[in-house]
Amino acid sequence: MHIPEHGFSALRLLAFLALINVVLPQCSTKTPVIFNFGDSNSDTGGFVAGVGLEIAYPYSRAFFRRPTGRASDGRLVIDFLCEYLDTHYLSPYLDSLEPDFTNGANFAIVGASTLPKSIHSFNLGKTNFLEKHDFENALYTLDIGQNDLSGSFWSLSYAQVIERIPSFISEIKDAMWAIYRVGGRNFWVHNTGPLGCLPRELAIRSNGSAGDYNEYGCLTPLNQGAKAFNAQLEALCEELRSQMENATIVYVDVYSIKYDLVANSTHYGFKNPLMACCGYGGAPYNYDDSKTCLDSEHTVCEEGRQHISWDGVHYSEAANSIVASKILSTHYSSPPLQFDFFCNNAASSFCH
């Protein structure tokens, strides 16, 4: 079954970012409490729990060996960040079967966008959940936004997409202020990745002119749109640093991390960087919008074979592990604070 990537708006915000607020005075003695808000890039089973549609095997095959609701063959970036903090993976907040919320909850939903709560069912207007929980150790993460740009490029011209970006940024701004008002003080903001390098985007636009592609085969207009969004997101971070008293806001250039995987794919051991592992149609992209990895007719690469893209939209566990390690390196962060910094502050927040 095909899951639409433009359908929902989990928690009223953001465009391809993850917002995490964490209070970790002593990570070694206190369990980090994490609240993640996002889309399919950080959904650990919320869509499956809430809607009842299965994300079946071979999803999650590389690590969990069973379907978990993750849109990948294994662990997501948020899973690796949880491992770094030595806490267990996040349970979906919609999970009704013996959920474990001792270390927080995951509000991420497949298809989430930044569109306001008046438009979609899942939204961030539910800050009342946070207000009811006075955690001394709390981490609020957000991983959302890719769908806004992708959905806009479906029906709008490049110029029209650029015109819409301020509305996405406005939703992100409102969300960050909402978190701040319930106690969030440190924000870790991830920008959006190179949309034009995703196999899905390349496959559905395969009739583009030669001038639309860069030297690595990515679609330049979509990547330029992502860069335009990121520039405004970075400007927002700078603005809020001057407005949010006692707040720390770290901006992380995830675009550069993910683009580097494509540009230097052989260095990381990846072959066919623009081709999905699980999909239909074979080279060059192995993606067919009518026969995806969720359909019975899909084909899938051999286990252990390294692909950047798992299903044409989402990254593989192998790619996610590299992305997470580079995030933790601080080389892509401004200011370049160690992730451990948030273990020693009274109130911290991360945006992805």
Residues annotated as part of the active site: 40, 311, 314
DSSP string, 260-284: HHHHTGGGGT-SSTTSBSEESS-TT
Residues in CB range of 76: below 8 A, 6 or more apart: 41, 42, 43, 44, 70, 320
Short-list 6, 11, 9, 109, CA closest to 52: 109
Please give the Cα distance from 234 to 245 (Å, whole number): 18
Q: In degrees, to the nearest 5, what angle opens at C-alpha 320 toward C-alphas 318 and 321?
A: 65
DSSP-derived 3-state class of residue 38: strand
Structure tokens at 216: 């690595």
Residue type at position 17? L
DSSP-derived 3-state class of residue 251: strand
Q: Position of tokens 């990381």?
A: 268
Residue type at position 145? G
Please give the Cα distance from 243 to 237 (Å, whole number): 10
